[in-house]
Structure 1
Amino acid sequence: MTKKKSGRKKNFAPPTLGRRIMGWSITGAICLGLVYGAYDLFQFCVRSDLFMVKEVRILGTELLTKSEILREMDIPARVRLWQIEPERIEAALIRLDLVDSVQVRRVLPQTLAVEVLERKPVARWQDPATHEVYVLDEKRWLLATLGELEERMARNGISRREIGPLPLIVCDRSVRGWAPGDRLDVDGLEDVLNTYDVLWTRGENWIASIDRFEYVDALHGWKIKCREVAEEIRLGRTNLTQRLGKIDPVWRLLESEEIRVAYIDLRFDEQGVAIKPLNIGVVEWMELTNRETPTEKMIG
């Protein structure tokens, strides 16, 4: 038989009052030390230059200068990173006519990063009352006068080629005091400018031939006046993005055959594209298009 091991039970007596007081004292001393240390560290950070803003990093600007951005930000020469209010700076910068959006970030330990998205000039518009020419972006905002834009470009070393040809927008607007920051309210203009900007970026050949966009009530919408191949392109006022996307293959065909036309009419969405040729005979045109009506031909 296995014998049961016998042993004495250990008795754990509860701590005496003196021991409790000693434990509380040690814990309290540690907590006080931590609080004092944290306060000391806080005072060090407040008084030292460790988090003083040493660099303002401005990204995304071409037309706006760093000095313009800094002037609008209006921050003290000596300021610590946590004293910066990003929302206040963003609200100040978004008021600039050339700024589309802005984001301000604090980057430890000593940098303030400002990311700016500028409005991009895509066209020109002339005030019928004052004859002042303004540049506008694809959202129809007047950004600056053409003279101001050219001064900025020269100052910042930007070539006209980088900006693009800036075709003229012709539309009747009520006589009023127009200024940068105003917005042109014309049917379909935003679609025209948006699509034009995309096609220009894509590098489609015919874009370089555009002289101006005109809004014509008699044609129920927009037409484009061109310098070569076609005298004008008729767009209408609906499906403008889709219609502008049709031009490139038609233009390349006419250009390769050295055919000049009075107009390219894109208003017949389902039927195709109507074209009126100028410098080609009836037989040649019929052979080229294989259609029956040579004067106003549908290339679908």
Structure 2
Amino acid sequence: MSLSTPEDGRLSPGLYIVATPIGNLSDLSPRAANILSRADAIAVEDSRVTARLLQHIGTKRPMIPYHDHNADRVRPGLIARMASEAIALVSDAGTPLISDPGFKLVRDARAAGHAVVTLPGPCAAIAALTLAGLPTDRFLFLGFLPAKAKARADAIAEVAAIRATLILYESGPRLAATLAALGDGLGNREAAVAREISKRFEECVTGTLSELAARYEDTPPKGEIVIVVAPPGEAPPVTETDADAMLREALTRLPAAKAANEVAKATGLQKRDLYARALEMKG
């Protein structure tokens, strides 16, 4: 949905979701700069960070802190103001709503009937994916994994079989432990560690999960970090012995036709051949 500009030059009331640079301030789009310089107020994660961005584009605007610790308290007031004012939403870096509480603001703004528009731009997860040299046709963003070892291992186990490149955020002090946990839960897949994206010392280091864990074990890096992990390799083909075992188990529960259908779906083998084999077993 687009928002028109009234004849007096003011922005139309509503919520403007504005992506901000993840490093180089010159990555801010002209459209984003225009909206930020004209918004009635800006909901910010950290006013000090946004103040530097506003200084870069030569403007000052009222800022309202909006983050994990105060979102529930501040949100109703922001929603009320959207009826007559243009409220911009930014995070410290990148696209709002990615690993922050912004989605609730969008949800409530829509429920209240306010206009909502997004100004797309930088996103660390997508930028890291482009640097990693890993498959991009399917990917899954995991945000930050849990800090505690058991919860982290459980979260990794949930996605181990998903045939997609995995993208997650991490801090320097936890990087090596997270890479090791990913290796334990996923196998020693190819991966990349991207940091300081679009900044002077941008780097993207590639290797296996075990190689990367060893690299950073004693030298945790600084800066914003994105881990990208390759999808699992192709599953080995189902052998005749495997298919027979699956059929025998299915036949304890199902008639031959349904057992053959179940195994065909699980293995990709021909249902006709499996049905004939199932009849032999029953005979």
Higher strand share: 1
- Structure with higher RCO (Cα < 8 A, 6+ apart): 2
Instruction: State the TM-score, normalizing by the size of structure 1.
Output: 0.26
Larger Rg over CA atoms = 1
Higher helix share: 2
